Chain A
Amino acid sequence: MGAGEPAAALARPSVDRAAARAATGGEAFVVESVSKSFAGTAVLRDLDFRLGQGERIAVIGPSGAGKTTLLRLLAGVIAPDSGRVLALGRDTAKLRAAELAALRRELGFLYQSDNLVPSLRVVHNVLIGRLGAWSTARALFSLFSPREIESARSALHQVELEQRLWDLPGALSGGQQQRVAIARLMLQQPRAMLVDEPASSLDQRLGREVLALLSNFARERGATLVVSLHTLDLLGEHFDRILALSAGRLFWQGKARELSRTLLRELYGAEYRSLHLDEVEVADSSP
């Protein structure tokens, strides 16, 4: 690949947003009366909400509220037991394998840890973002002699890690590994990003940096960002809307500034103290 190609790859519009909006009424995800159980235990119950294209959403709630299950439903990895999920205008339960594959190319994932393949160098881990656009033969050849290196370098530059291109993930700190995973998302250029507790394995400062990177990238690209967060000290000003889940139900939704201490106490119950939520600044600061 020539030197000009990487920039083009990063700058090219990845989606026809007008067409997408026309199909979904400008909504990236529509969740209608969705319930999901595992081994007879209800994890999500009768959920109903819509997430707009380009909207940045934080999903909060105590342990076991169903945050991770919700993200996997939005991604189409699992199907709802009842109700329906529209992801980028497509009903995930009704997609054929090829259609689901096409959808997955437009969705980016980031988990709390283990985002990188430990035995692949950073360059390959970033280039995983291009797999959706590559043939299997190209992917195989790239394992031996990496293709589109400059695209990977450029993405790593945006997370200030371009010098670690040839390192193995084991040589990086936890925060650096998360940034490499973000560089992968940058290369993939998804229309929506589903991020599961991205800062839980990082200290607070690095957690803030990671969220800022994701939020800025989503804003610049006009991509939808859905982030699940266990704690609230990282909410900051990165999100347009908060969805609060409790025992699989939508407990509350609104803007970050509308959160109140009473609401948090009710939402988190016994976890309120252990998560030090009394230290989180909210509008209603009554004890």
Chain B
Amino acid sequence: MSLLANGTADHARRRPAGPWVALFTVCALSLGSIAALDWDLSALLDAQSRSEAWGRLRNFMGAFGAPDLSAQRLRQGLSLSISTFSIALWGSGLGLVLGYFIALFASSAVWLGEPRRGPGLVARRAVLELARLLLDALRGVPDFAWALLILTMPGPGAVTGVLAIALGVAGILGKIFSELWDAIPPRRYEALRANGATRMQVFLYAIQPMSARSMLSFTLMRLECSVRNASVIGVVGGGGLGAQLFEEFNYGNYDGVVTLLLFLFALTASTDLGANFLRYQLRSDPRHPRVARDDDHRSAQRRRKLAAGACALVLAASAWAMAPDIARARLELGRIEWAFIREQLALLFDPPPGTRVWREAAASCAVPLAIGVLATLFGALGAALLSYPGSFAFQIDAPRFTGERLGAGVKALRAALLLGTRALTLVQRSIPEVAWLLIFAAFFRIGVLPGVLAVGVHSAGVLGRVFVETVDNLPYQPFEQTFQGSRASTFLYAAMPMAAREWASYAFLQFEANLRAGLVIGIVGIGGLGERFHTSVQSFNFPRAGVFLLTMVLLTTLIDRISRAFKLGAGSVR
């Protein structure tokens, strides 16, 4: 028997059904989601509605050519933009501190440590589960819903926005930090344990430093999201650009809407580009095809000090910008009858008798779930398509693995394709879902179809960037081996399969975000769980609102447990 035959016997595998199961699952989820939603297609199918829709769209698009550029409007836009950024910055800062603290108790590597035995382990496990549940609760309730609850105290304004965003950020960053800490292989800090280091020492000297770059990268991504959320949270009383934007839209002042949308875009896009630049500086993989420049300790220290100084300066400036809002909130809080507020909030945990509201809550989950599924599929597919023209490796750097010697014309064409794709994804993700909804609603009116389109288009922009980053971080050797004349085939057979696992993790994280977006646009008027919660709070029916709030938390907890079971969390993303 030849050497080659060794190990080949008895290994015959049947053709795996994976691709067909995946296709069937996607089709079933899509069809189920389509069936679960109440579609209004009259703007497409009914002649009169269609003509009205075109009229609305013409007005809206016409306003893009003639935005309101009066000095008063520009001053207003600038002031609201500064307020929006301050809300996002302080919301993220407070959320970061709170999330970090809770994550210490939610991470099994940090809180339980090794060996997992001895007295007190049961109690420690209970604390771990409680911390995770708290993070689920903070994350499960979208910032729009937090804002609705909080504004009963300091009233509508920037302080409500800051607190609402802080709670959401704490839930999300807490989960991500704990997953990143748990994803570090214990053998990498075994030596410290062997030397007798305590759990906290192992955390401070091994786990935290090893995950610091990823933590900072995720924090910057979260800051971007906070700026987007802060720009629309005013819709429900959270201050910033959103309140004015929604008001102008409701009055049909499209020229004002467009001016505010331009301010919103300038703010979110510049934050996106700035945060992306900083994240790029954090890249440290020595195997990366385009390794960052060498760095010495002294210049790294200098940059760190500069960054800390800049952060402190921006935080102080933001606090100064929000000073009038803080003073107003303090005045409001001084007037509050806390006993009444406590009584009202306690009602959240006093559900109405019977199962009717619970059944209603369970049924109303269909809307955010269906929107989440459809928008995530739409977004992931769109992002996968955009990741080829948007990839630096495949458009600009391809000669390094294809050997092509390109003329200036072809180089310019590829650069234009890359920049065009990246600009498209920047626009897609810089405009928050609620603002996209207002744009699509100019044609369709607010409803399910513009809701799915809004969340889907935004998701394609968010996922487009991270999908491209994943591809651009791959080594070139497999591309060189696979290239047989077609970059596209190399992309399909080397880049895409190698990036697939990370893409799936990002898509699942986006599904969670889209679920929250489904709740938020429900609050704005599409229906489902978000809308029911909104109407319950507005009518001061807190026992009913409590049931819907708890349902949101349960929904997020379920999704979180699924993602942990399939290892699709932040720890699986490099």
Contacts and interface: CB of A to CB of B under 8 A. Distances in A.
Contacts of B23: 144
A119 B14 CA distance: 18
Contact of B13 (A117, A131, A144, A167): A167
Interface residues of A, number: 51
Contacts of A119: 497-498, 500-501
Nearest to A203: B3
B486 interface: yes
B2 A97 contact: no
Given A100-B404, A143-B492, A179-B4, A166 B485 contact: no
A239 to B, nearest CB: 21
Given A117-B493, A117-B498, A166-B13, A93 B405 contact: yes
A212 B493 CA distance: 28
Nearest to B481: A109
Contacts of B477: 111, 114
B488 A136 contact: yes
A132 B474 CA distance: 22
B11 interface: yes
A159 B488 contact: no
B558 to A, nearest CB: 28
Contact of B410 (A97, A109, A118): A97
Contacts of A101: 402, 404, 484-486
Interface string B199-232: 0000000000000000000000000000000000
B492 A136 contact: yes
Contact of B9 (A78, A117, A134, A163): A163
A14 to B, nearest CB: 12
Interface string A121-139: 1001000100110101001
* B23, B404, B501: residue with the most chain A Cβ atoms closer than 10 Å: B404
Contact of A75 (B403, B406, B485): B403
B13 A104 contact: no
B513 interface: no
Interface in B1-34: 2-5, 7-9, 11-16, 19, 23
Contacts of A143: 492-493, 496
Nearest to A139: B489
A232 to B, nearest CB: 21
B493 A104 contact: no
B493 A124 contact: yes
B484 A117 contact: no
A195 to B, nearest CB: 11
B59 interface: no
B482 interface: yes
Nearest to B487: A101
Interface in B474-521: 477-478, 480-486, 488-490, 492-494, 496-498, 500-501
Nearest to A95: B405
B506 to A, nearest CB: 16
Given A77-B403, A78-B403, A136-B489, A121 B16 contact: yes
Contact of A166 (B2, B15, B404): B15
Interface residues of B, number: 42
Contacts of B481: 109, 111, 115
Nearest to A118: B498
Nearest to B483: A104
A101 B19 CA distance: 31
Contact of A117 (B2, B410, B478): B478
B486 A131 contact: yes
B492 A165 contact: no
Contact of B489 (A102, A117, A131): A131
Interface string A99-112: 01110110001010
B401 interface: yes
Q: Main SS of the interface on chain B? A: helix
B489 A134 contact: yes
A121 B14 CA distance: 12
Contacts of A117: 478, 482, 493-494, 497-498
Contacts of B478: 114, 117
Interface string A54-83: 000000000000000000000111110000
A140 B492 contact: yes
A12 interface: no
Given A119-B501, A167-B13, A188 B484 contact: yes
A161 interface: yes
A257 B5 CA distance: 31
A75 B403 CA distance: 8
B406 A97 contact: yes
A176 B2 CA distance: 13
B11 A209 contact: no
A119 B4 CA distance: 24
A200 to B, nearest CB: 15
A259 interface: no
A218 B251 CA distance: 77
Given A119-B498, A120-B497, A163-B8, A132 B485 contact: yes
A78 to B, nearest CB: 7
A187 to B, nearest CB: 11
Nearest to B485: A101
Contacts of B19: 144-145
A104 B402 contact: yes
B410 to A, nearest CB: 7
* A97, A102, A145: residue with the most chain B Cβ atoms closer than 10 Å: A97
B492 A77 contact: no
A160 B493 CA distance: 24
A105 to B, nearest CB: 5
Interface string B386-410: 0000000000000001111110001
Nearest to A172: B7
Nearest to B18: A121
Contacts of B4: 159-161, 179, 209, 213
Contacts of A109: 480-481
Contact of B16 (A75, A159, A166, A173): A166
A105 B403 CA distance: 13
Interface in A147-197: 159-161, 163-167, 173, 176, 179, 188
A245 B471 CA distance: 36
A247 interface: no
B532 to A, nearest CB: 41
Contacts of A75: 403
A163 B402 contact: no
Nearest to A164: B11
A124 B19 CA distance: 13
A282 interface: no
16 contacts: A97-B410, A100-B404, A105-B485, A114-B478, A117-B493, A117-B498, A121-B16, A124-B497, A128-B482, A131-B484, A131-B486, A143-B496, A160-B4, A161-B4, A163-B11, A167-B11
Top-3 shortest CB links A-B = A101-B485, A132-B484, A163-B12
Given A96-B405, A109-B481, A139-B489, 9 more contacts: A77-B403, A100-B404, A117-B493, A119-B500, A131-B490, A132-B484, A139-B488, A161-B8, A166-B13
Interface of A: 75-79, 92-93, 95-97, 100-102, 104-105, 109, 111, 114-115, 117-121, 124, 128, 131-132, 134, 136, 139-140, 143-145, 159-161, 163-167, 173, 176, 179, 188, 205-206, 209, 213
